[in-house]
Amino acid sequence: MSKDTVLLAPSIVSLPYRVYPQRFYVLTVFCLLSFNQNLIWLTFSPIARSTETYYKISEATVDLLLNWGPIIFIPCLPLTYILLNKDHGLRRCIILLAIGDFIAALLRVIPSVLTSPSSPHFSTISMIFMHAGQILNAACGPLATTPVSQLSCLWFGSNQRTRATTIAIFTHKLGGAIAFLTSSAIVSLPEHIPRLLYIHLGLTFVACVLVLIYFPAQPPTAPSGAAELLMSYGTDRPNDSSWRTSMKNVGRCMTTPSMVLLSTAGGIIAGTFGTWTGLFDTILKPENYSEKQSGWFAFGTLISCIVGGLCFGALADTRYFQRRLKILIVLAFICCFLAVFFFELSVHTVFYDKPLLHSTSLIIGLSVAFAGFFQGAALPLIYEAMAEIMFPLPESLSASILLQWLNITALILLFIAPNRAKLINLLVLIALGTSIIMSLLARITYRRRNEDERKECEKENEQLLNSDNMDPYQNQSISQSQYGSIS
């Protein structure tokens, strides 16, 4: 070899995919924000009677404070999707969620500072701030629920995504479950309501500080091939976040049969199931169960949802079930249908006035617990299945469509639910039966997982090729003349 020959160094080896410890901080902070959002939304419903007395308002006004959730959620959801898919969109959404929820909680304590319950204008002043706070919190709803599958894809490896999505989804539900317990425990008297509002303000303040101190836009390097594409979505293709392209992407989703089937099934059953559990007090009243017992049944159902989601999420992340999501979804829906059917044999329905089975607390408790377990098990799997089907479109798009179906269903049922508990009992069975059929008809293609495996294989081959071609001695053989030395 001539001494004047210069050997070029081998090309830079692309680093293998890796995950970072910061992912747990990111998920924890997001979960706290999501928890707070649902906790604040359900502030007044568990203490409706105390709220009516303290603020001197009607039951319809208390219901409106709750109904702002789905009313405001529906128009705000498309805006969230567009923001989420801009450059560093996840961080922007999280900061907006943190600040928005803090302001919402702050607005609700202002009447306690400005005036007192003895003032003749207390009710009027309070309702202005209460409605403003609930509306702002409702606008934060899409920010707390839409990013779940996109966050898990961006920060977690392909064998951890389903569990991360599950935790993010059900922390939001946990906020509602805790609201049923803490609201009534803290507000033993109507005049204790400000205590609850100050606690909510403190929680949102802590979450806001955590976000403002540190919340990275994305990991230093992608944890998977799908995350690599997602990280370039807002920078390499800035026009994809326009209204026109967003509508085009929505059109693609709505013309993909499997996507339509799964999003409709998931949205309808989630919306119907949520309304059904909220009516346990009315449904179980003819069976001589108290309001407190019904509240515990609802709480148990929500906790079962979380446990079911975590169990099936961990199962779906195993190698055997990573490509068998459809089996798990259909199995979960069938088991949920059987549990709800067993529950309805123990209560009054539209078909018979006398329950076919003897109603006991054990039977009711077990049936709603199993129903919650399997309904909760199916939901995160549907999120992940839709993300697989619609890849390379961002995960937030498929999640947005499912959430829109959920909120439309819930809003419709909230208007027809009063004094129609038996009808809701029938509708939840119809929704489950329909969901089973739609899930069976859907065909899940694992496009995102295929991309992950292809990229991982490419990186492994590239590393192997570079290691085979690398000669440490030759790499150091650089001509002295290149450095101006005399030969």
* C-alpha–C-alpha distance, residues 394 and 150, integer Å: 7
Question: Stretch 20-27: mean pLDDT, rounded?
Answer: 93
Same-domain pairing of 132 and 167: yes
Q: Which amino acid, residue 164?
A: A
CA dist., res. 157 & res. 108, Å (int): 40
Both 39 and 161 in a single domain?
yes
Residue 294 is predicted with a pLDDT of 78
Return the higher-pLDDT residue of 414 and 373: 373
DSSP 188: S
**Whole-number Å distance between alpha carbons of 166 and 316:** 11
**Do 338 and 198 belong to one domain?**
no
pLDDT digits (tens, 9 = 90+) for 197-212: 999 999 999 999 999 9
Residues 334 and 195 sit within 8 Å (Cβ to Cβ):
no
pTM of the model: 0.80
Query: Final residue of a domain: which of 237, 261, 279?
Result: 237
Residue 421 has pLDDT above 80, yes or no: no
pLDDT at 416: 74
How many residues can be counted in the chain? Answer: 487
Residue 2 has pLDDT above 50, yes or no: no
Q: Looking at the structure, do residues 223 and 329 belong to the same domain, yes or no?
A: no
The answer to whether the beta carbons of residues 339 and 269 sit under 8 Å apart is no
418 pLDDT band (50/70/90 cuts)?
low
Same domain, 231 and 264: no
CB 268 within 8 A of CB 117: no
121-136 confidence digits (pLDDT tens)? 888 999 999 999 999 9
Predicted confidence at residue 72, as pLDDT, reads: 92
Domain shared by 390 and 431, yes or no: yes
User: Does any domain span residue 474?
Assistant: no
| Per-residue pLDDT tens over the stretch 386-407 | 988 988 888 888 888 898 898 8
Block residue for tokens 């020959």: 5
Determine, yes or no, domain membership for 243.
no
pLDDT at 463 (0 to 100): 72
Inter-residue contact 125 to 147 (CB < 8 Å): no
Which has more pLDDT, 5 or 27? 27
Q: How many separate domains does the chain show?
A: 2
Torsion of the alpha carbons at 287, 292, 293 and 297, rounded to the nearest 10: 120
- Burial class of residue 423 in the structure, from the number of CB atoms within 10 Å of its CB (0-12 exposed, 13-18 middle, 19+ buried): middle
Are 91 and 157 spatial neighbours (Cβ–Cβ below 8 Å)? no
Are 232 and 291 in the same domain? no
Q: Using the predicted structure, report yes or no on whether residue 236 has a pLDDT greater than 80.
A: no
- Give me the half-sphere count of Cα atoms (radius 13 Å) on the Cβ side of residue 334: 9
Is the separation of the CB atoms in 189 and 53 below 8 Å? no
What's the rounded Cα separation, in Å, for the pair 59 and 70? Answer: 18
Range of the domain at 125: 19-237
Task: Read off φ and ψ for residue 365, nearest 5 degrees.
Answer: -60, -45
- pLDDT level of residue 291 (50, 70, 90 thresholds): low
pLDDT score of 39 more than 90: yes
**Which domain-ending residue is among 206, 237, 268?**
237
Mean pLDDT, the chain, as a whole number?
Answer: 83
- CB contact at 8 A, 291 and 48: no
Query: What CATH number did the domain enclosing 340 receive?
Result: 1.20.1250.20
Does 33 share its domain with 181? yes
User: Residues 258-267: what's their mean pLDDT?
Assistant: 93
Separation of CA 47 from chain center: 26
Position 427 in a domain: yes
Contact 138, 69 (CB under 8 A): yes
Q: Is residue 339 part of a domain?
A: yes
Banded pLDDT at 265 (limits 50, 70, 90): very high
Q: Is 90 in contact with 27 (CB distance < 8 Å)?
A: no
Lowest-pLDDT choice from 105-119, 441-455, 470-484: 470-484
Burial grade of 460 (CB within 10 A; 0-12, 13-18, 19 or more): exposed
Tokens of 369: 């617990």
Q: Is residue 200 located within the same domain as residue 282? A: no
Average pLDDT over residues 42-57: 86
Q: Name the residue among 339, 337, 378 with its Cα closest to residue 162.
A: 378
Rg (CA), the chain: 26
Q: Of 19, 363, 24, nearest to 224 (Cα)?
A: 19
- Quick one: pLDDT at residue 195? 93
Q: Could you tell me which of 272, 265, 277 has the C-alpha nearest to residue 332?
A: 265
Give mean pLDDT, residues 442-458: 84
Strands (E) in 261-302, as ranges, are none
The answer to whether residue 77 scores a pLDDT higher than 70 is yes
Q: Same domain, yes or no, for 173 and 256?
A: no
| Contact between 347 and 284 (Cβ < 8 Å) | yes
**What residue type is assigned to position 70 of the chain?**
P
Q: What is the mean pLDDT of residues 447-467?
A: 78
Q: Which residue has the tokens 């899940």?
A: 444
The reply to whether 10 falls in a domain is no
Domain membership of residue 478 (yes or no) is no
**What's the pLDDT band for 442 if we cut at 50, 70, 90?**
very high
Amino acid at 126: S
- Does position 234 have pLDDT exceeding 70, yes or no? no
Question: Is residue 381's pLDDT more than 80?
Answer: yes
67-88 average pLDDT score: 87
| Statement: residue 482 has pLDDT above 70 | no
Same domain, 233 and 373: no
Q: Which residues of 31-66 are buried (b: 16+ CB within 10 A; e: fewer)?
A: bbbbbbbbbbbbbbbbbeebbbebbebeeebbebbb
Q: State phi, psi for 157 to the nearest 5 degrees.
A: -70, 165
pLDDT at res. 222 = 85
288 conformational bin, left if phi > 0, alpha if psi -120 to 50, beta if neither: left
pLDDT for 483 beyond 50: no
The answer to whether position 475 is within a domain reads: no
Place of tokens 């969620």: 97
**If pLDDT is split at 50, 70 and 90, which confidence band does 436 have?**
very high
pLDDT of residue 417: 65
Question: Of 13 and 284, which is predicted with more confidence?
Answer: 284
Mean of pLDDT values over 299-317: 89
**What confidence tier does 233 reach under pLDDT thresholds 50, 70, 90?**
low
Residue with the bigger pLDDT between 480 and 100: it is 100
Interval 159-189: pLDDT, tens = 888 889 889 988 998 898 888 778 878 888 8
Residues 196 and 328 grouped into a single domain: no
Q: Is 273 inside any structural domain?
A: yes
